[in-house]
């Protein structure tokens, strides 16, 4: 093992300072008394109170969560199916087009995806609102889910499924009883990814929504276009806190599971 040099220490310190300082400042100024975000005038939580009394923000948050739950769930189902088709269905007509349509949305600029979907919804005369945002989010999120799930499926030992068939399962039972429980962690992270993408999306939602539905990112965007606002800082702090707690909990849980697994495996080797 090489010595951990001063150069590396400096790179890591500066790199992580760059990544985290802006967010720390954001959180810090959310507790500022002054309306001028950058002038410190003492500690206060009044912006949180104001935020929670602002009905428009609460409505937007509710719409966003609704959209995220529906679209990520639907995207997980469709994306898992698509991953299974990509990895397991073998050759079929139009397979190239299919995998192209799975990978294209990952690199497609959001402005184009949004524009295209909007033109479709207008073309078929669909009333725009929560429903159209859910359709749009499902479409691009399912591609992310299918990438996550299919990378898990490719490392999946196919003989496990064959063993299930051999022991009397129908193909669907084999999927339900063997494949799904084993790939469940990937499916869950696919869902989480879809959920965050939906929570986060501004551009596609702006294109595909109608006057009836405003999501939180749309609301934030129109508020911050005119400059910084302490209310948005408060909102950002809440969102950062939720994500941080969630990610840290998840990583601790999965680390614990990995440690337990390693311990069991070592015990099994010793017992031999």
Partner 1 sequence: MRRFVLIAIPYLWLLALFLVPFLIVLKISLSDIALSRPPYAPQLDLAAGWEGLKSFFSELDFENFTFLTTDDLYWKAYLSSLKIAAISTALTLCVGYPVAYAMARAPEEWRPTLLMLVILPFWTSFLIRVYSWMGILSNEGVLNQVLLWLGIIDTPLQIMNTTTAVYIGVVYTYLPFMILPIYSALEKLDGSLLEAAEDLGCSRLEAFWLVTWPLSRNGIIAGCFLVFIPTLGEFVIPSLLGGSDTLMIGKVLWEEFFSNRDWPVASAVAVVLLLILIIPIILFQRNEQKQREAEG
Partner 2 sequence: MAQTVFAPWTDPDQKPIIEFRNVTKSFGDFTAIHDLSLNIYEREFFALLGPSGCGKTTMMRMLAGFETATSGDIYLSGKDIGHVPPNQRPVNMMFQSYALFPHLSVWDNIAFGLRRESKDKAFIGDRVEEMLRLTRLTKFAKRKPHQISGGQRQRVALARSLAKAPKLLLLDEPLGALDRKLREQTQFELMDIQEKTGTTFVIVTHDQEEAMTVASRIAVMDEGNLVQVATPAEIYEAPNSVYVADFIGDVNIIEGRATQPGTKTGIAWAEGQPPILATPAKSVEAGQSVHFAIRPEKVTIDVERPDRPNTFRGKVIDIAYLGNISTYHVELAGGQMIKAQMVNARRLANRHITWEDEVWVGFTDTAGVVLEE
What gap in Å lies between CA 58 and CA 47, rounded to an integer? 14
Query: Of 122-161, which residues contact partner 2 (CB under 8 A)?
Result: 157, 159-160
- Nearest distance in Å: CB 169, partner 2: 6
Nearer to partner 2, 50 or 265 (CB): 265
- Those residues whose C-beta lies under 8 Å from the C-beta of residue 71, and which sit 6 or more positions away, are 133, 134, 137, 138, 141, 194, 198
Q: Which is nearer to partner 1, 127 or 272 (CB)?
A: 127
- 98 sits near partner 1 (criterion: CB under 8 A): yes
Query: Number of H helices and number of E strands within the chain?
Result: 12, 0
Residue 69 near which of partner 2, partner 1, none (CB within 5-8 Å, type-dependent): none
d(CA 143, CA 168): 33
Angular region, 168: left φ>0, alpha ψ -120 to 50, beta rest: left
* By the rule CB under 8 A, 176 interacts with partner 2: no
Query: What minimum distance in Å lies between the beta carbon of 182 and partner 2?
Result: 6
- Longest CA–CA span in the chain (Å) reads 72
For residue 138, what are its two tokens? 């499902």
- Tell me the number of residues near partner 1 by CB under 8 A: 84
Contacts of 40 (CB under 8 A, 6+ apart): 29, 32, 34
Cβ proximity to partner 1: between 182 and 240 the closer is 240
The mark string for 116-135 relative to partner 1 (x by CB under 8 A, - otherwise) is xx-xx-xx-----------x
Q: Compare residues 50 and 166 and give the one whose CB is closer to partner 2.
A: 166
Among 162, 188, 242, 248, binds partner 2 (CB under 8 A): 162
Question: What residues from 139 to 198 belong to the interface with partner 1 (CB under 8 A)?
Answer: 139, 142, 146, 171-172, 196
Nearest approach in angstroms of CB 159 to partner 2 is 4
Sign (positive or negative) of CA dihedral 62, 129, 82, 100: negative
């Amino acid at each position: 093992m090489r010595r951990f040099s001063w150069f590396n220490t400096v790179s890591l310190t500066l790199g992580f300072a760059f990544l985290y300082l802006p967010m720390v400042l954001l959180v810090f100024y959310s507790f500022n008394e002054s309306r001028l975000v950058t002038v410190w005038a003492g500690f206060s939580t009044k912006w949180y109170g104001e935020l929670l009394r602002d009905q428009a923000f609460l409505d937007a948050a509710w719409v966003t969560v609704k959209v995220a739950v529906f679209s990520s769930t639907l995207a997980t189902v469709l994306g898992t199916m698509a991953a299974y088709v990509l990895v397991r269905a073998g050759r079929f007509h139009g397979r190239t087009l299919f995998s192209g349509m799975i990978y294209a949305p990952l690199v497609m600029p959001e402005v184009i995806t949004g524009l295209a979907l909007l033109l479709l919804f207008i073309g078929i005369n669909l009333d725009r609102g929560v429903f159209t945002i859910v359709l749009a989010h499902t479409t691009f999120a399912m591609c992310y889910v299918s990438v996550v799930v299919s990378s898990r499926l490719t490392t999946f030992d196919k003989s496990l499924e064959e063993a299930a068939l051999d022991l009397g399962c129908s193909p669907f039972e084999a999927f339900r009883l063997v494949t799904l429980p084993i790939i469940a962690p990937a499916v869950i992270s696919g869902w989480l990814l879809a959920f965050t993408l939906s929570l986060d999306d501004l551009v596609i939602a702006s294109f595909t929504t109608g006057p009836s539905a405003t999501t939180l990112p749309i609301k934030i965007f129109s508020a911050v276009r005119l400059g910084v606002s302490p209310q948005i800082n408060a909102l950002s702090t809440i969102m950062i806190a939720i994500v941080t707690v969630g990610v840290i909990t998840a990583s601790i849980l999965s680390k614990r599971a990995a440690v337990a697994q390693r311990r069991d495996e070592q015990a099994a080797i010793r017992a031999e």
